[in-house]
Amino acid sequence: MGPGLEPEVDYSIARKRMVRDQLSARGIEDKRLLQAFMEVPRHLFLDPATGARAYDDCSFPIGYSQTISQPYIQAMMMQHLQISPKDRILEVGTGSGYQTAILSLLGQEVFSVERIAPLSKNAGEILSRIRTGRIRLKITDGSDGWKFYAPYDKIIVSAAMREKPVTLLEQLGVEGMLIAPVAKEREHLVLYKWVAGELKEQILSRCAFVPLLKGIQ
């Protein structure tokens, strides 16, 4: 192998450890979810200098003052949504695209919106290089969702909302579920579910996400 032709670094051991020590050990049991985390190369979505640390138990900067969440937080949010292979999923906040890749392996199709154009473009490039399910990306302010493809079975929001996501909840189908960080006073992850036409709301753990912002950048 000549200079500059380095073999692709294999991080599968770091990935296995992440799944075992950070996800399984903390109660993530959904087999398909664990399999997806085993498969998606998280390091490709981060700065190459991050190397194997991409699989560490923490969040990382992804540029433009944004961060990719800690693997456990992402897994826990997705597990709450009980995603089935038939689900059409809306993701608000594509960011690096890592979670988009995982969601696409769990559901039927992912519709992911991001307000920062270079982040969305970069995510699209990486996603096109790896095996994923069906994904549609759009550069837009996702505060009001993506009405064109509604209703969705599941919605996941990766940035903190100031109040109950009323417009997004309207874009859910029958029995639809939404998980979002909501920061009225203190920030909590909240799980919403439509049950027989009635909205159920369950407050989960405390959390700290970047804020949901208006407009595109």
What residues between 8 and 47 interact with ligand SAH by CB under 6 A?
none
Residue 213 in the binding site for ligand SAH (CB under 6 A): yes
Assign 168 to helix, strand or coil: helix
Q: State the Cα–Cα distance between residues 192 and 77, nearest whole angstrom.
A: 12
- Number of H helices and E strands in the chain, helices first, is 6, 9
- Which span sits near ligand SAH by CB under 6 A: 50-58, 110-118, 147-155, 164-172? 110-118
Kindly report the number of other CB atoms within 10 A of residue 150's CB atom.
17
Q: Is 69 a catalytic residue?
A: yes
Residue 90 in the binding site for ligand SAH (CB under 6 A): no
Smallest gap, in angstroms, from Cβ of residue 214 to ligand SAH?
6
When binding is defined by CB under 6 A, the residue of 143, 153, 179, 190 that contacts ligand SAH is 143
Handedness of CA 196, 151, 107, 96 (dihedral sign): negative
Strand partners, 11: none
Residue 132 in the binding site for ligand SAH (CB under 6 A): no
Q: Are 72 and 26 in contact (CB under 8 A)?
A: yes
Helix axis angle, 98-106 to 71-80, nearest 10°: 30
Q: Which of 12, 65, 69, 120 is catalytic?
A: 69
Assign 88 to helix, strand or coil: strand
When binding is defined by CB under 6 A, the residue of 22, 66, 104, 132 that contacts ligand SAH is 66
- Which span sits near ligand SAH by CB under 6 A: 107-115, 163-171, 181-189, 196-204? 107-115
Residue 181 in the binding site for ligand SAH (CB under 6 A): no
Residue 96 in the binding site for ligand SAH (CB under 6 A): yes
Q: State the Cα–Cα distance between residues 103 and 90, nearest whole angstrom.
A: 10
Q: State the Cα–Cα distance between residues 182 and 175, nearest whole angstrom.
A: 21
When binding is defined by CB under 6 A, the residue of 41, 71, 93, 181 that contacts ligand SAH is 93
By the criterion CB under 6 A, which residues form the site for ligand SAH?
62, 66-69, 92-93, 95-96, 98-99, 113-116, 119, 141-143, 158-159, 210, 212-213
Catalytic residues: 69
